[in-house]
């Protein structure tokens, strides 16, 4: 069955102590799953589009847990591979903070089944048949040379198949150096239509200095030939209360969403939810609506525990219409 959106990346099992406990004092851990590209695929599915997530999982109980949650969220796992080499699933541990203590993360993902996949395992011509959009983040190529090659092959195959493509730069300094990231992303951006990036990452990875998002985005367009650039705007006066918005650049113009004041239940995955709303708008050929929908999706995700955006289109439309705080009876 053809899918509107294909995403490619790793998912991990998330373990978090309840009640704002520190990991060192925890007696139990709540289980969720998440991964940047999977989160976006779920957001797309929640908006009523068809999406498929491409990955490789350990052939064990944790891999099956992830696959079960993927299907539960309405995302196709038909292109998910299972490792028969004893590989593992990645884990990460989340410690929720409260002001003045920040939240913290501990990753345990080395040698995961996905990171050890070889580029030739994924048959992109078949995967992209009938699809419209391909999305990946900078986390995927950061997992090793094999994944960087696999991401490059996927993007080139997507363009050859006529798909629109998006990359969320999502630079993680714990996974690779700015120099390595910059060199790899320069190659990947040659096959990218829509780039999600911040001013800070543009300077860190590409040396692009700017005084505004519009200036940075314009330079990214001129340098790499991408058609559109989108960024998240955030103000963080308190750990559990932020302001959230989205800004975009296309055809020489800057588009800004309203700012949303959000009470944070769980902010992980907000940017991925934003990407889902953005892609949804773009599938209708409306960049400005994508910005507005992405901002509403990202704002709503802050109110939902776990990484996955359990959001409805009705809720997105309500937030966009200014009805986000009305009680539905």
DSSP line for 102-169: PPEEEEE-TTBTTTT--GGG--HHHHTTT--EEEEETHHHHT-HHHHHHHHHHHHHHHHTT-EEEEE-
What pLDDT does residue 24 have? 96
Say what the pTM is. 0.96
Tell me the CA distances in angstroms from 201 to 179, 208, 209, 219, 231, one per residue in order.
Answer: 12, 9, 10, 13, 10
| Bridge partners, residue 201, by sequence | none
Give the number of domains in the chain: 1
Contact 53, 41 (CB under 8 A): yes
Please tell me the predicted confidence (pLDDT) of residue 107.
94
Tokens of 21: 């406990």
DSSP 201-251: HHHHHH----SSHHHHHHHHHHHH--SEEEEEEEEEEETTEEEEEEEEEET
In sequence order, the β-bridge partners of residue 242 are 262
The answer as to whether 112 is a domain residue is yes
272 is annotated as an active-site residue: yes
Residue 264 lies in a domain: no
Which pLDDT score is estimated for 323? Answer: 62
Is residue 3 assigned to a domain? Answer: yes
Q: Is residue 325 part of a domain?
A: no
The per-residue pLDDT for 240 is 84
Q: SS3 for 308?
A: coil
How many whole angstroms separate alpha carbon 144 and alpha carbon 164? 25
160 domain residue, yes or no: no
In terms of Cβ atoms closer than 10 Å to its own Cβ (0-12, 13-18, 19+), residue 325 is exposed
**pLDDT at residue number 193:** 98
Alpha carbon of residue 254 to chain centroid: 22
Catalytic hit among 77, 168, 272, 280: 272
- The confidence score (pLDDT) of residue 326 equals 44
Judge whether 187 lies within some domain.
Answer: no
Phi, psi for residue 226 in degrees, rounded to 5: -70, 155
In this structure, the number of other CB atoms found within 10 A of the CB of residue 103 comes to: 17
Report yes or no on 20 lying in a domain. yes
Do the domain assignments include residue 262? no
- The first and second tokens of residue 26, run together, are 């925890």
Structure confidence at residue 324 (pLDDT): 53
CATH code of residue 59: 3.40.1190.30
- Tell me which residues of the chain have a pLDDT lower than 50: 325-329
Beta bridge partners of residue 6, listed in sequence order: 52, 134
- Residue-number span of the structural domain to which 71 is assigned: 1-36+53-117
> In angstroms, rounded to a whole number, what is the distance separating the alpha carbons of residues 168 and 226?
12
């Amino acid at each position: 069955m053809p899918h509107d959106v294909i995403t490619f990346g790793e998912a991990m099992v998330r373990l978090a102590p309840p009640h704002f406990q520190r990991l060192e004092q925890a007696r139990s851990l709540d289980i969720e799953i998440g991964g940047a590209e999977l989160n976006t695929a779920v957001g797309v599915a929640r908006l009523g589009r068809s999406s498929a997530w491409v990955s490789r999982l350990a052939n064990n109980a944790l891999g099956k847990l992830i696959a079960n949650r993927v299907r539960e969220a309405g995302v196709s796992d038909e292109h998910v591979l299972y490792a028969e080499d004893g590989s593992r699933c990645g884990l990460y541990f989340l410690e929720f903070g409260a002001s003045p203590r920040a939240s913290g993360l501990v990753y345990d993902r080395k040698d995961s089944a996905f990171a050890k996949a070889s580029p030739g395992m994924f048959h992109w011509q078949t995967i992209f048949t009938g699809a419209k959009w391909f999305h990946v983040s900078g986390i995927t190529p950061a997992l090793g040379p094999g994944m960087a090659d696999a991401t490059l092959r996927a993007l080139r195959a997507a363009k050859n198949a006529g798909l629109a493509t998006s990359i969320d730069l999502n630079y993680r300094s714990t996974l690779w150096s700015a120099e390595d990231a910059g060199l790899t992303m320069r190659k990947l951006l040659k096959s990218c239509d829509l780039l999600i990036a911040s001013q800070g990452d543009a300077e860190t990875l590409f040396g692009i200095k700017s005084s505004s998002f519009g200036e940075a985005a314009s330079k990214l367009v001129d340098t790499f030939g991408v058609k559109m650039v989108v960024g998240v705007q955030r103000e963080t006066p308190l750990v559990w209360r932020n302001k959230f918005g989205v800004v975009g650049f296309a055809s020489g113009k800057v588009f800004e969403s309203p700012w949303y004041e959000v009470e944070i239940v769980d902010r992980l995955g907000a940017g991925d939810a934003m990407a889902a709303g953005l892609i949804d708008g773009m599938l209708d050929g409306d960049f400005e609506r994508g910005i507005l929908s992405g901002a509403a999706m990202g704002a709503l995700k802050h109110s939902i525990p776990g990484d996955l955006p359990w959001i409805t289109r009705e809720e997105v439309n309500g937030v966009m219409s200014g009805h986000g705080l009305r009680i539905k009876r």
